[in-house]
Structure 1
Amino acid sequence: MTDTNRPQTRRAHIGRLGEDLAADHLTGLGWTVLHRNWRNRYGELDIIAADGSTLVIVEVKTRASQMYSDPTLAVTPTKLTRMRRLAQIWLSEQERGWSQIRFDVVAVQLDSATPDDVARAEIRHHTGVFA
């Protein structure tokens, strides 16, 4: 049973901050965010966006610790395969076609001492990580 009244965990809070920053980054590039946290029984896609006529599936990796040099390292081949499968399912439910589909990773590194200080966050956008 899930307690919906309990406070958000630190991990969930950090993840939400990173996804918010990633979505802001993408809209700042002129992209349209179509969906956030699209889920089905096989998993979740963090951000589904349109970069012009290109559909971009974006995995967001956020860290508030210096234990890992690059949050992108957490995107494994297994994760990329799952993203591709989920993208195929999402596409099968859409009426619109896309001239290109690309998979990107947005890595967000928050300050470990003050993760809520988003002005100190570092964002690295890796394009075309998986074809």
Structure 2
Amino acid sequence: MNARGALGRFGEDLAARLLTEAGMSVLERNWRCRAGEIDIVAMDGDALVVCEVKTRREGAFEHPMAAVTPVKAERLRRLAGIWLHRHGGAPPGGVRIDLVGVVLPRRGAPVVEHARGVA
């Protein structure tokens, strides 16, 4: 795994821990199909959560929370639809797309932010 892959994996590990500590159940990580990849699929009560994780080092060009563009949001909605189709449809609580942004400072603990319903 290259340095960028290791950085992303570290951020996804932190995100999965944050979601679990918030009471969610992580169903899958790095789910892939021809259309792309979902970083984390989780349940929050009776709602399905498709979670995009963006990890950046401090001082990077853009904040990770700015990384979900309208094009990216549409791709996440399409991926959520494919996942639902392959797994029996939407749960009673519907589907939500969340974003977890991770910033790794030069010193100190990572800063992890969770935004619900971004797309």
TM-score, scaled to structure 1: 0.84
Cα deviations across residues 35-66 of structure 1 (Å, max 9, x unaligned)?
10000111000000000101011000000131
Partner of 1:60: 53
Q: What is the distance in 1 between the residues matched to 2:95 and 2:114?
A: 16
Partner of 1:74: 67
**1:95 Cα shift?**
2.7
Q: What is the distance in 1 between the residues matched to 2:54 and 2:74?
A: 16
**1:121 Cα shift?**
0.4
Q: What is the distance in 2 between the residues matched to 1:120 and 1:68?
A: 20
Structure 2 residue matching 1:67: 3-state secondary structure: coil
Call closer, same or farther: CA 1:98–1:69 in 2, change over 3 Å: same
RMSD across aligned C-alpha pairs, in angstroms?
Answer: 1.4
User: Which runs of 5 or more structure 2 residues have no equivalent in the other structure?
Assistant: none
Partner of 1:31: 24
Q: Percent of counterpart pairs with the same letter?
A: 47
Aligned residues: 118
Q: What is the distance in 1 between the residues matched to 2:84 and 2:60?
A: 36
Letter in 2 for 1:121: P
Partner of 2:114: 125
